[in-house]
Amino acid sequence: MSDTKINHPGSTRLTWLLIVILTIALLAYSQLVAYFGNEPFHLLAAQLIKAGETPYLDFFYQHPPFFAYLISLWMRLFSESWRSVHILSALLTSGSILVVASYLRFRINEFQRSPYVSAIATLLLGLNFYMVAFGTVALPYGLCLFLIVIAFRFAVASPHGRSSLQPFLSGLAAGAAAASLLLTAPVALVLIVWLACYAHPSDRFKTCLSFVAGAAIPFLPLFLLVLRAPREVSFDLIEYHLFYRVGSDGNILRWNLREILDWFSSIQGLLLTVLGMIGMVFVKGHREISPEWRAECFLCAWLAIALSLFVGIPRPTFSFYFVLITPFLTILAVAGVEAMSGWILFSDRRLLLATAVIGLYAAGLARETYKSRREIFHADHKAIEEIATIVNEVTPKDGWVLAFDQVYFQAKRRPPPGLENAFNPFSRADEWLAADRFDTVCLMSRDPRVESLNLFAKYRNNKTIFTPDFAISLFWHRSDNSDRQ
């Protein structure tokens, strides 16, 4: 294939326009409706770190600490609110789309029939349900998506130069992703194997060493924490996930298969997978494909496969974990679009093909959004703010509060010991609630403890906060005015 750079100014302008529109849309979504139930414990962890506490030592935290420390720093620079962290996640998700689009622009010579592949890839990423829903909240997915595509981008650039900087930066990004979310660990493993295979023979050892050095740096804080409290770190990061995760009992195989199929059998997941497989067949068998592009497509395939296998292991797994494979499947999917553009059926209907792919993909977004609307649309920010205001008004400064992670974060109150994370398996909340240890109690109105412990009789004051989907009951001023036992 010719090395002459193909210029498609129309495609470049369209891609940039789409990225700008999608960035604005992601930011708007992050502020207006974005929510997921697991994000509050990350926010609370960052708030506690900002207050001078240390994860694992001072409170339970079941993830590597890089993400929590990052958003703690972000809160120091900007506001201590979910809104500021949502903005960070949305910008990082948009950044991952930009990195993939720029990479495909770099490889534009490989797409003789479909010069608009970078625009198509932008839409496949920007309209992906899991990218939108989980890349705009206070979860590490926006950060990790950005870091793993950066790691990929530096890795594929490494064999073309003799510098150690690119493999070092690739390792740094891959290590930071794993130090934020262990589910991304296969990225570093696949990339170093790929670099070992494709680096210049005389530079192979130096390249791999540079990658490992970069990958180790983000783990230094965790290493220091291990030296200080090996037992606590080991429990939070290893034992908890092996033995205490919610849902780890029962028929876990059936659960995991259902969640895996939920992603791959969705319209978007199925379309990306089928197009990616077509793309791989095309890249493997087409003689005009450059060796570099073929190797990079195989790298994308191995990354997608390794991540898919790894994220299917946790007990339990969840369909949204598979958002991590989306960028790599998208690169293969646009290769699939290029292959289909050469078929006789679509040779004169390339615009129709692209429109049909994007239209079907958008329908998949609408379907998944409707299915998951109760999980990803947060209509109770105002309710949480109201509850937090009441809690601060009626509870003594040193009083104990039983509430959701969101309430602690919004009220800026230190939770009682062991209640900093709703997933803490050693929480004594039930024991303390039965013993009347809490000055203020916040529970779902349908929580059986409200009736079984007769909270309406135990507390003189109560109020119910209603949201479109549920009600929250708030209790304060114990009837007996007794001190904590």
User: Confidence band (pLDDT; 50, 70, 90) for 351?
Assistant: confident
pLDDT at residue 6, as a whole number:
52
**DSSP-derived pairing of the beta strands 440-444 and 471-478:** antiparallel
- Confidence class for position 485, pLDDT limits 50, 70, 90: very low
Q: What is the Cα–Cα distance from 485 to 336, expressed in whole angstroms?
A: 67
* pLDDT on residue 480: 67
The whole-number pLDDT of residue 9 equals 65
Q: What is the pLDDT of residues 5-58, one digit of tens each?
A: 555 666 788 999 999 999 999 999 999 889 888 899 999 999 999 999 999 999
Which residue reads 């192979």 in tokens? 204
Percent of the chain at pLDDT exceeding 90: 77
In tens, the pLDDT along 123-151 reads 999 999 999 999 999 999 999 999 999 99
Rounded Cα gap, residues 149 and 94, in angstroms: 12
Residue pair 121/326 in contact by the 8 Å Cβ criterion: no
Q: For residue 270, how many C-alpha atoms fall within 13 Å in the half-sphere facing its CB?
A: 10
Q: What's residue 377's pLDDT? A: 64
Lowest mean pLDDT among 91-95, 247-251, 290-294, 382-386: 247-251
Q: Are 70 and 139 in contact (CB under 8 A)?
A: no
Q: Among residues 355, 350, 410, which one has the least CA distance to residue 380? A: 410
The whole-angstrom separation of Cα 339 and Cα 356 is 15
The mean pLDDT of the chain is 91
Q: How confident is the model at residue 349 (pLDDT cuts 50, 70, 90)?
A: confident
**pLDDT above 80 for 160:** no
The predicted structure's pLDDT at residue 12: 84
What confidence score (pLDDT) does residue 483 get? Answer: 46
Residue 471, pLDDT > 70, answer yes
What is the token pair recorded at 142? 């926006």
Q: Is the pLDDT of residue 1 over 60?
A: no
